[in-house]
Amino acid sequence: MRSCLFDSSIIATAQQAVEFVSTILESSTEYSVIGEDLNGKILFWNQGARRTC
């Protein structure tokens, strides 16, 4: 059995999936989301995280 994270009729490529998730995370202002690499370098933060600084 194969599971899918996205509807392939809407999101067909990995790049589209990244853009979709990025848009959701960026538009979230109620929660603070901070993404970092394995070395602790911050790679991404959303509007919710910006409000807490």
Give 42-51 pLDDT, tens digit per residue. 988 888 888 7
Largest Cα–Cα distance in the chain? 44
**Distance of alpha carbon 39 from alpha carbon 27, whole angstroms:** 26
pLDDT in tens, 10-37: 788 888 888 888 888 778 778 888 888 9
* pLDDT exceeds cutoff 60 at 1: no
**Distance of alpha carbon 38 from alpha carbon 21, whole angstroms:** 20
Helix (H) / strand (E) element for 45: namely strand 42-45
The mean pLDDT value of the chain amounts to 81
- Note the pLDDT of residue 13: 84
Burial 12-26 (b: 16+ CB within 10 A, else e): eeeeeeeeeeeeebe
Q: How confident is the model at residue 53 (pLDDT cuts 50, 70, 90)?
A: low
